[in-house]
Structure 1
């Protein structure tokens, strides 16, 4: 079977040199420069846009996803990795904590559970109830972590066999890789082929808060963008992983949506020593760091294979077990997912390249009659007070802090300030234009 290159599914974006240059903006634009404190703020209308793959319109090229509503700007993929549903009550519980899509499911699961509850399936047909007319079956899942289980040549051959079949019925093709494709240990040509040649959306799983890697002695760091050991267990690492994956994705001059895995309890391998469970605050910080770095979907690793709180479906256990040890993490997941759902149309709009001030990692969106600023402390910087300088052309003098029931005054020069208590803290501001 021939390799199915993404050129058969045209995407928005510039040609190779333009996209690569713009991709550099993705990495550098959010970084803060002390010089900006004294320089005149550029005008909002003159800011360059971060390269993207087209937002919600991207899904229009896949008839199955388009018909299912994925091209609606109000939709943002929030995926559970392995979480069985056997009743409408279970499906509705999952929706209550923000899940709208699944990868991995018992083969006996009837398609009606997806259709009746407005949920989506990515994968092969589970059984005979899945047909060509199954509207909520939107994508095909190729395989998991092929780069970690095969040689590069064998892995590409394996994915080549799966790629065409995954797209039957107008569905998109998705796969997930290990962090190997982000490292210098893999030849760039092999990593770029993995990321670019077989899929319409891709992701990498690396659970920075809970895997033993960050505590290794000696610590071996060999990534495209350095992650020092003192910063390894931080929300910023999830965002940096997105930056590295985008570098690989941009190599062919075309962009696809990048999704991010976040553990909803523990991501450590079951055959290695237990490190920690992710805390509720860390979980939310990891998700927000991913979004700030242009993640187009969130996938929750829904298993816990080591430590005192283990299970094959953390979300389901939170529903059925009294005093479940992971209940707080699932509640935190539900909270940040609700925020994503409320802001989906904003998140699906194209970001603007702009630096608000030193010590910040930010994403700027202009949507409707407001600008939205998603902000965290920059990687490696200390928590504490931060000053923001709005671009000129933003006339609002009040910044609403979304989800926090407070506002901050913006002075006549377009400046305001706020605090970040720790590395996982984030704020989202809305200011009228």
Structure 2
């Protein structure tokens, strides 16, 4: 492959094996509520609106209790495999292998978005990471896929927009269209090409940056492009759960009009790189998922393939041990239980945060929820101040503890960069 960037080698391998900016914006500090105009103290609907999926044929559920928890490029060839995935809390598949039968998921009340264009699916998936292997441009597409032959004509030209347009023409009428992007949109391209990719072809978009396991992402040519002057990132800056939230924020920031469509987050659950140092841990996975949700993700897609390490498989959840699958099952149960909260309006302008912590505030009925995750690798204490009436105690969900409030404020500790706390304020007057 000559001088091909190592990350493009990974992208090419993905196709073959699977058969087919500014400084870091991680601070959770927000302006003091008393300095925010009353008009900014609003409840904002989730991206696209609560009934977004209803407009599509066989659309995903708009029920408040549904939050997409998906596997990427899984094979649906037998009922047992699908039922096993469902037992782990998976409810959706995004892209499936060519030998798959989407009706197996359909018959088990699961959702399928794929490029197979069958009658029994809920969305159409465009080619993966076109922004990386065909790049932004309107050149001639040869029709070849990565690893087969030159993709663009001439070979060094850019034809990603053409690939997307020709692929979109094959989408069944009425189905939602899904597109996943890579480091072209997130790191390499200026905003305008990114906006073109994100807004021109799909109804649901995502991008996959694997901050914990990617051996290249910390370099000045990738994650380090986020600095005003690109440089290599330190391990503490790079191997951080909050960066999964940054990826979601990056893509959401390209959506026009703002908040007009859902953006989903990607999280690996194995070792996506053969030359990666290690697989992601259970604590890191949970933190990455919640940081994505805090950043506004309307769905989570698990990269369910491991090309390195002790368990190399295209079905990590099914093949790589009960401990791993049990951890994902517990995480999915936690997210699903809070789906009505995640899908509720976001409350803006009521919370001040003192600490390097990312937060999301949700209003559901008479209750207020704050999802919070550390945005730095070191331990810290964070102060949360609300400009509305709050109860005397805050419940920390899943941790069997409460925190006493004083003057609308409470303080909590975040042990490290994987710390996530989920707070419930019952009968809050916000």
TM (norm. structure 1) is 0.80
Q: 2:366 aligns with which of 360, 366, 369?
A: 369
Q: CA deviation at 1:45?
A: 9.2
Change (3 A) 1:373 1:43: farther
- Aligned position for 1:257: 262
Q: In structure 1, how many angstroms separate the alpha carbons of the residues matched to 2:329 and 2:105? A: 20
Instruction: Write out aligned runs for 1:18-29 (5 A).
Output: none
Pairs within 5 Å for 1:14-413: 31-33=28-30, 36=32, 47-50=41-44, 52-65=46-59, 70-125=61-116, 130-131=118-119, 134=120, 137-153=121-137, 154-168=159-173, 170-183=174-187, 185-214=188-217, 216=219, 221-223=224-226, 228-229=233-234, 230-250=236-256, 255-268=260-273, 270=274, 273-318=275-320, 324=321, 327-353=322-348, 354-377=351-374, 379-380=375-376, 382-392=378-388, 394-411=389-406, 413=407
The structure where helix makes up a greater share of residues is 1
Query: Separation in 2 of the partners of 1:242 and 1:81?
Result: 17
Partner SS state of residue 165, structure 1: coil
Unaligned 5+ residue runs, structure 2?
Answer: 1-24, 138-158
Moved more, 42-51 or 257-266: 42-51
Structure 1 residue 167 displacement after superposition: 4.4
Instruction: Find the aligned partners of 1:55 and 1:383 in 2 and give their Cα distance.
Output: 36
More displaced stretch, 398-407 vs 39-48: 39-48
2:237 and 2:377 in contact (8 A); partners too: no
- Residue in 2 that maps onto 1:22: none
Are the aligned partners of 2:294 and 2:371 in contact in 1 as well (CA < 8 Å)?
Answer: yes
Question: C-alpha displacement at 1:108, in angstroms?
Answer: 3.9
Q: Specify whether residues 220 and 389 from structure 1 end up closer, same or farther in structure 2 by C-alpha distance, changes over 3 A only.
A: closer
Q: Which stretches in structure 1 are left out of the alignment for 5+ residues?
A: 1-26, 319-323
Deviation at 1:347, TM superposition (A): 0.8
- What is the alpha-carbon distance in structure 2 between the residues aligned to residue 219 and residue 241 of structure 1? 12
Instruction: Quote the Cα distance in structure 2 between the aligned partners of 1:262 and 1:282.
Output: 10
What is the alpha-carbon distance in structure 2 between the residues aligned to residue 182 and residue 95 of structure 1? 31
Check conservation: 2:161, 2:197, Cα contact below 8 A: yes
1:192-229 deviation digits (Å, cap 9, x = unpaired): 11111000011111101001124559987113788943
CA contact (8 A) 2:76 2:101 kept: no
C-alpha contact 2:208 2:266 (8 A) present in aligned 1: yes
Aligned residues: 378
**Change beyond 3 A, Cα 1:244–1:111:** closer
Which has the higher mean CA deviation after the structures are superposed, 192-201 or 355-364? 355-364
Shift of 1:51: 7.0
Q: Distance in 1 between matches of 2:77 and 2:191?
A: 43
TM-score (normalizing by structure 2): 0.80
In 1, are the aligned partners of 2:353 and 2:382 still within 8 Å (CA)? Answer: no
SS in 2 for 1:117: coil
Question: What's the offset of the Cα at 1:42?
Answer: 7.1
Cα distance, 1:398 vs structure 2: 1.8
Shift of residue 82 of structure 1? 2.2
Give 1:387 shift. 2.1
* In 2, Cα distance between equivalents of 1:44 and 1:403: 34
SS across alignment from 1:162: helix
